[in-house]
Amino acid sequence: MNIDLKSAVRVYPDFPTPGIAFQDLAPLYGTPGLLGRLGEALARSFPQGYEVVLAVEARGFVIGTAVAMAAGRPLVLARKQGKLPGPLHRTEYALEYGSAVLTIQHAAVPPGAKVLVVDDVLATGGTLAAAARLVEEAGAAVSGFGVVLDIEALGARARLAPVPVVSLLTAS
């Protein structure tokens, strides 16, 4: 890619809580044509293959949609508590600045499917680990994690091992 991706990430100190350096990807998405190219780059980064793309609410829906479209794969939405109807798999988790509950519908992920889990930012890895638990509860397997930006200093890759993690950008 020709543009300097890193300079298109804005960092806001002490947001949403003191001590957090918030990585804002809005300028990336605001660059015409770039979202599609980010989706294509992630979609082709998993040679082990995947049959389903699962994206995490809310910011993960943006890049997850781009990846699913680029890959020609179905998109599953993992949503926060209270947003999905019907029987659900559910798990609680902690993230860099709080805690939440993530859910997927029982029928959303076919048993045995290989799933690529996509989100915008990887911080502590709590969110992606929670998404992986939901995939496993559904009887499927996570074949990879794809993110736009990994805050490397928080060490999430070790937490998510041995499943491969691909990030297009890193921050410290």
| Cα dist from 100 to 7, 40, 57, 70, whole Å | 30, 30, 11, 29
Residue 96 a catalytic site member: yes
Hey, which residues between 126 and 145 contact ligand ADE (CB under 6 A)?
none
Residue 140: closest CA among 50, 57, 75, 58: 50
Nearest distance from C-beta of residue 123 to ligand ADE, angstroms: 3
Nearer to ligand ADE, 23 or 143 (CB): 23
Within the chain, how many helices (H) and strands (E) appear?
Answer: 5, 9
Among ligand PRP, ligand ADE, none, what binds residue 20 when CB lies within 5 to 8 Å by partner kind? ligand ADE
Among ligand ADE, ligand PRP, none, what binds residue 56 when CB lies within 5 to 8 Å by partner kind? ligand PRP
Nearer to ligand PRP, 45 or 124 (CB): 124
Residue 159 a catalytic site member: no
Contact 151, 121 (CB under 8 A): yes
Within 10 angstroms of residue 67's Cβ, the number of other Cβ atoms is 26
Residue 22 within binding range of ligand ADE, rule CB under 6 A: yes
Judged by CB under 6 A, which of 114, 124, 136, 141 binds ligand PRP? Answer: 124
What is the Cα–Cα distance from 167 to 146, expressed in whole angstroms?
Answer: 6
Catalytic positions, written as ranges = 59, 96
